[in-house]
Structure 1
Amino acid sequence: MPSGNLSRESTVTVTCDGLVAPRSPSDDVDSILGHIVPDEGIELLLGEPTNRCQSKRLIIAVDFGTTYSAVSFMSLAEGENAELVGSDRILSIKNFPGDSARDMNDRMRDEVPTEVIYPLNRRFRSEGEWDSLQTSQVDGPANGDEDEGPELSQTQTMDVDMTDYEEIFDEAEFRTIAQPFQWGYKVHEAWRFPDTHFDKTNQALSRFKLLLDTSQTTEAVRTQVAPTFEALAAKKIIKGPLTVIADYLTCLLRHTKSELRTRGFDDSYPVELVMCVPAIWSQKACRDMQTAMAKAMQQAQFQGVDIQNNSIENLFIVSEPEAAAAYVLATDHTIRPHDTFVLLDAGGGTVDANTYTVSQTTPLRLTSEVVEPGGGLYGSSYLNEAFQAMLLERLENETYLEHDKITLRGIVETIVLRDFEQDLKRNFDIYDTNKLAKRFVVYGLRDDRKKGFRNSCIYVKFDTIKDIFMKCLEGIESIMRNQIQTALDKGVVVDKVILIGGFAASISLQRYLRKYLDAISTYNNCHIRLVVPENQVTAVASGAVLRALNKEQGPRRLARSSYGILRTEPFMDYPEHSGLKPSYDRYDGLPCIKNTIDWVLKKGVEVHPVWRCEPFLSSHLFPCKRSTPLLCKEVLYVSDTSTESHYRESHAKNRGAEEVGAIEVDFSFLRDQGLIRPVEPDEDEQGRKVGQRHYKVEYNMIIQVVDRDLRCYAIYNNEVIKKCRINIASAFSPGAK
């Protein structure tokens, strides 16, 4: 096995550009070994450090949401000035499989549910169903127009004689009715069928984005979905949360690619991917999200992905509130210099609030966050849950409705998706003076005036529905109120509250917030206006595209993670070795400390757009065997806490450090071409040989950061033998250039 001295290894996403042997090796190769490349020659050796501009490109922004997700994009032509491109050029992906929206202009069609259903069959991937499923969903008819066979009512069952359909459907067509994996609107569509609820092998998952958030706020949700994850993991269908996220994103990106192709965009367009993340996410969560995104891009056959090292070329990460604010500044012409506004993002799961002050100059820029961000779990999906629980309670004794594959849960789920989600939730007004009860069809329901059952309908009082709404509305109002009051306590008056997200379309939410703003404005002798942008559903994804166009608005480039290299260091070269028991290298016999980490790029350091560490020497020892390849591997590590070098990887100071990538170079050509000679073992004071005959390979390493790429160079004989490019966007604050 090779042994490395002073070898450094790194942990990032790596895209290797290939191995190049020296063009004209020196007659005396040994004379250049061990020499550090002179600083004045580095720039010439490494070439132009900046990224070359693309002649044309696609900017694709993915807003992976708790309950709904969206994708926006924009194309740039050759030579086009990105700074002059307007927000009107931003488009959104639509036509999601299973989307049955009645109104083709409904903005809710710009997003898709973040939900999946797994079969309890670990072979569904290997049997080819995974790939064929995604292709059929992406390339098939959209908007529920596909021919899926007879639609079943709640009183019908799937217990039919298959021969009755022999002349209409073949077996493959029946499989399309009950596909083994579902995502997005297909999940909602599946819940309309009785067998989905009856079949216990169906494992549905939602809100799995929150598994990346380890805060106390999401603990209840993580606890709730844990049993389903455990069941799927036990069946070896998934390995963990990242598997589910990657599976969902694969479907989302495959559909995106299909839609882009219909618009004439093929693989000749280089892609810049923008990933939207919550502002409160840790660097670990951002890296995990990048890992899942890289896997999904590979499975969706996007170019520029190195799955082995989770690397994505041209990846830009931006925080969700920052992206939304960029969209607001670009589209709301009522915002003026000096204005302060609360950005209230009311989605399906979480509701987040940020308060910003606008700069004094044009173009408008955000100067600062006035108060700490706020948020809570008051999204619109909790209305669905509460409404569903109420119906189940009302119907719990009506067991006569259950027969064959019809279940009470299935009946209620159909009402929630068909009537509550599509119609009532958006149009219900808590201030409606008529206060009429709402009725929902339940076929076969027996009349019972005390329970509100009549004519196969269940009647729900106006006040009952209002109470369901009020819990979420009061929670959102408290988040908004805290932002406004905290700003006032600091002497800053809020001018506007800008409401975005899927819940923003709710009439009840809009009216409730306006009434509170009128009251607080009167009390404080000011005027705070509620603004609901026209495109509130995709404000985050659209704003992310705008931020990618103009990255100069981003925060300072402070490293939020440390990146280091695994080393074998000569014993006592550093004071950190004191008190340690050394190992003795089997080849040169010298004492050393193995598996230490040298943190080359340290957390907290400001990293300029082009940053470079000092060149360092890497040395590897090999046995004198022709059968042993001279493979030199440098392994990269990342940590969100470590900054002190020369401690072993297992030391407490490196707790939590993770391997994130590697660069490997085959130097066998040096031996095969006679460019290096075996090193004979030394003798100690007693004349005994120390170590054994071996080959020694030495080369220079340089680590450079260019924008959001970390680049590693292996240099031998003043020639770049191998170079790697690793995207470390997750090492900086979201939005940093």
Structure 2
Amino acid sequence: MQVGVLTQIFSLGDTCGSNALNDAFRRLLENLLTDHDYLHEGGATLEGHICKLAIHDFEHYVKPVWVVSQNNQDYQLEVLGLRSDPGSQRPCTNRLTIQAGHLKNIYQHICEEVSMLMTKQLHATAQLGLKTGKVVLVGGFGESAPLRSHLREALANFNAAHDSNAQLYVADEHERITAVDAVSSGGVLKALNKLYGPTRVAGSSYGTRCDEPFEDSKHAGQLSIQGRQNTQELYVEAIQWLSKKASPCWSRYPTIVPAIAPRYQTFPVRNADGTINHGPFICQDEIWVSDEAYLDHHSYLHEHNKDAQRIGTLKTDVVHLLHPQFLVKNEGAQGPSCDDGRNLYWKFPYELVLTIDGLNMKCVQAFKGQEIGAMRVGIAPGFAPGAN
């Protein structure tokens, strides 16, 4: 498909992509579980349960199979510790029923928002005396069958009212694999090969805070801190820039940054007063951004990172995942044996994975291949206007 003349139509956008489904589902969960504060037990939190359901379960168990036009069955999701099911007349413990009608309302509302946005852009095009031939959906939500069905109906109504023949463009399987996403600004297709579109070159660096064991070859001259469990160890409070400024970031496939391996956090077995530490045990990862920095192994206080700012913190309580195999003897401790736990601490291993997908970055904490915590960060300001 060749485009000889490019006309840019400016039209307001909206937040109505695939993430909007997760946000709406999260609000539904908050309403259903509003009277179940007792889930704040054993180190777990109500917010943690909701995050798992809204991000992991909804993404993997509901989205791939949901079809608005079908008579879908209610969904049952696992919520450990739930005493009664607020979504069912025949409640069962540890199960939360999501009624199909609620899901249908969520999908229809979001699809209608996308439809209204598309129609506004088509009207803006028509007002310039131009005819739209194809409508290209940009982003992962464009693969949604319910969305495509809804937009085809809206296009039929628009065509009938404006003597138009606009169609929804759906690439075949080969093009989906090999073609770079088209960039649409307003309602007009620019180019499928992005020849004239803005490139996806990162204008900022994104990274995470991590305490790196001090090595003279990497950290000479930098401030260091003592280890929290073993005070004989030295660490540098560094930032590792995982997505670096001026590096290309493509939107067709998520860019998965290798995990910081091994990633771990330590917790004392006993509190300062000698009592057993029952938690919570929080794995915490800070996400940072900088318009200038890109070098690793530098303290967040270093001159190189002077403009770096923290933009988010991912926290996950892992008290339910601790196992005796994660107990470590404090080799730097002084005094009697560690039989009573005074010289022991927990060393919990996990992975941190950053996935850049479109204009969002998903930060995931994973344990044994399973997601235990996640957070999304918008990174649109890091790209040129119009990049997708």
TM-score scaled by structure 1? 0.27
Q: Which has the higher contact order (CA 8 A, sep 6+)?
A: 1
Larger Rg computed on CA atoms: 1
Structure having the higher helix fraction is 1
TM-score scaled by structure 2? 0.49
